[in-house]
A and B are shown apart, each in its own frame.
Chain A
């Protein structure tokens, strides 16, 4: 069964304290891995798509990387406005062309000033 596991469930950082969030996945065939940010009471906001092992993408203080079994979201010198839930999701390349996303449960990040 396709599965996405995120860790830690919650992370508290001081402003400027860099860290990484983990997303491990078990799928028979990966079409793509996606990172989203979700603020309380709002819909997920798209951040990155990664398609193949070794791929990296960056946006401001965020950098996403992908291996054959997991992805990391690195946060460099975070600011309080980076506080949110970060969701990881995968698309599989079998079962038709649904392109549906299979999500993990997210990591709740709190950055304190």
Chain B
């Protein structure tokens, strides 16, 4: 399978704990995006990387959230001191650079986070 891979698929954590999610993008894709989706809503943009550089962060991304993409390959999203409001599906997507053909974003299956 050469699609976007996310791990874990499901995570249940207690309020106040830290969690980390991993995303492996499609290998030739330079761009990697993180989105968050709550029930009944569309995905909302959190942040994106072009290779290893984090180029934009949404106002939704509080100081408790941090994302990395070392060496421009896989990415991690860490949430510190989780709150119940962090419960959501966290989606990763990857795409080619703008200006190239077929720059649509392809999504992974997501990580479902439940904070209890």
Chain A residues at the B interface, C-beta cutoff of 8 Å: 4, 34, 36, 41-46, 49, 87, 89, 96-106
B112 interface residue (CB < 8 Å to A)? yes
Which residues of A are found within 8 Å of B41, using beta-carbon distances?
A: 105
Given the known A-B contacts A96-B56, A97-B98, are A43 and B109 also in contact in the complex, defined by CB atoms under 8 Å? yes
Q: Which of A4, A42, A89, A103 contacts B110 (CB 8 A)?
A: A42
Q: Which of B55, B108, B109, B110 contacts A98 (CB 8 A)?
A: B55
Are A41 and B112 within 8 A (Cβ)? yes
Chain B residues at the A interface, C-beta cutoff of 8 Å: 4, 6, 31, 33, 35, 40-45, 48, 55-56, 91, 93, 95, 98, 103-110, 112
Q: Which of B48, B105, B108, B109 contacts A46 (CB 8 A)?
A: B105
Alpha-carbon gap, A19 to B105, bound state (A): 27
Lowest 8 CB-CB distances: which A-B pairs, in order? A103-B42, A43-B107, A100-B45, A44-B107, A43-B109, A43-B110, A103-B43, A49-B104
Given the known A-B contacts A41-B112, A98-B56, are A46 and B104 also in contact in the complex, defined by CB atoms under 8 Å? yes
Which residues of B are found within 8 Å of A99, using beta-carbon distances?
A: 31, 48, 95, 98, 103, 105
Which residues of A are found within 8 Å of B107, using beta-carbon distances?
A: 36, 43-46
Interface of B is mostly: strand
Alpha-carbon gap, A29 to B6, bound state (A): 32
Q: How far is the CB of A96 from chain B (nearest CB, A)?
A: 7
